[in-house]
Structure 1
């Protein structure tokens, strides 16, 4: 049962909202436009705020759906986060799109919101505290993502849930590695 839920979660992650919106409404291939990323940020840059919001919500719903499924089956918090890892993995590395997916942040946030809204409140608070000092959306976001295992530790979650949180955070950080390199190089250039 758990294996089927995890496999189903991965393939659900392969359903990318960005390319659907791009082809349906704009008759374009999103991977050939802007940054080439099929996520909400690139969609927003190309087609505006409305397209950004629809893409963000669509990708966030995937995370919410797998958490809802795991909760409905009473699989426990660790499996809930492993399903969120699986759907995010499917979003970032979709086999149906030759492993060229989004960055996973929308799916990550959507799933966490249903997993534990208080965790999301702390997550957002960390982002809001870090952002004014760093002045970088990406670095502040990555800082908040990195803090997930620590947040769950403070909420007294079990070790396997913490392991799932580490894998999930690691996956999102891996997906953002190019952005981080780019931001770090820019900051070094400014400081020198």
Structure 2
């Protein structure tokens, strides 16, 4: 099959996979409030942590990463080039951000983006997770941790496997764009810190 056709098909598959909202489904299965209507209103792991606790948030985080990792890894196995891998990974994130199955109201796409980067290698996955965890512990801001990890991700990739710097940079750029509102809230001191308590502030 033509490489362009395969790439287009994988972009569609990645978008549809990304459109499966883990936060909404986990909350429904566990009898929790709809994350789009509670807490920050963001259907992502951080908001689920606030309204449903750590175990629910971890489930969301795992499945959000998985829906980024699977299309990216399958595309890699199909022998697609780095640019194609980048577009496919971005498609998975756009599915998470604008899910066709959930009225196009999705999350930030951070876990899905990191999941799409993870198949590059265990070393990169470890660097990303360690950076995010350490920065959350230090700053208590999920947004700051996500943005800082996104900035560092292309550098880690260049160090570990420079072939994939382009797709990782594409994902990092998307993450930073999605956090423009968080940057403004940080500037004026209204950003919400990571907490298991319910909150009406944005995240």
TM-score class, shorter: 0.7 to 0.9
Residue in 1 that maps onto 2:128: 123
Gaps of 5+ in 2: 1-5, 191-203
Contact 1:19 1:38 in 2 (8 A): yes
SS at match of 2:189: helix
Is the deviation greater in 43-52 or in 166-175?
166-175
Q: How does 1:47-66 map to 2 (within 5 A)?
A: 47-66=52-71
Q: Distance in 2 between matches of 1:65 and 1:138?
A: 25
Using the size of structure 2 for normalisation, the TM-score is 0.79
Residue in 2 that maps onto 1:29: 34
Is the deviation greater in 163-172 or in 46-55?
163-172
Gaps of 5+ in 1: 188-192
* Superposition deviation, residue 130 in structure 1: 5.6
Which protein has greater RCO, CA pairs closer than 8 Å, 6+ apart? 2
**Number of aligned pairs?**
185
* Superposition deviation, residue 132 in structure 1: 7.1
* Superposition deviation, residue 33 in structure 1: 0.8
Q: Which string of whole-angstrom CA distances, capped at 9 and with x for unpartnered residues, describes residues 84-126 of structure 1?
A: 2110111012233333211112112222222222223333455
Q: Which string of whole-angstrom CA distances, capped at 9 and with x for unpartnered residues, describes residues 59-85 of structure 1?
A: 111012112211221224443333221
Using the size of structure 1 for normalisation, the TM-score is 0.83
Is residue 46 of structure 2 the alignment partner of residue 41 of structure 1?
yes
Q: Distance in 1 between matches of 2:184 and 2:98?
A: 20
